[in-house]
Amino acid sequence: MVDVEDAVSLLVALADRKEAVGEAFFVAGPDTTTLYGLMRLVAGVLGVRPRTLYLPPAALVALGGGADVVSRLTGKKLALSRKLAGILVAVALRG
């Protein structure tokens, strides 16, 4: 998430720079958050309590693999997959 003031500051700084034309830029502010922090923020805005379930990484990946099997057998795509589980584990391990 980026504050609009940080994005505008970047645009203003680049407005007169010819070398910036056609280039892509990343913009970030000084504040950071975690996935859990983002979940709490969104839940607060929605006026609900965040629901969390803590699983060991191996259990989450196993559940994702099981969900893939169920999806293949039923033809119905489930919300969890082994790929998504791997992404969630990677994000959680980064902090």
Q: Please, are residues 82 and 64 in contact by the beta-carbon 8 Å criterion?
A: yes
Average pLDDT, stretch 42-64? 93
27 — pLDDT class (breaks 50, 70, 90): confident
Task: For residues 60 and 69, give the distance between their C-alpha atoms in angstroms, rounded to a whole number.
Answer: 14
Residue 29: predicted pLDDT: 78
30 — pLDDT class (breaks 50, 70, 90): confident
Average pLDDT, stretch 53-59? 90
Q: Is the pLDDT score of 93 beyond 70?
A: yes
Average pLDDT, stretch 21-36? 84
Q: Is the pLDDT score of 95 beyond 70?
A: no
Q: Please, are residues 71 and 77 in contact by the beta-carbon 8 Å criterion?
A: yes
Angle (CA) 1 58 70, round 5°: 90
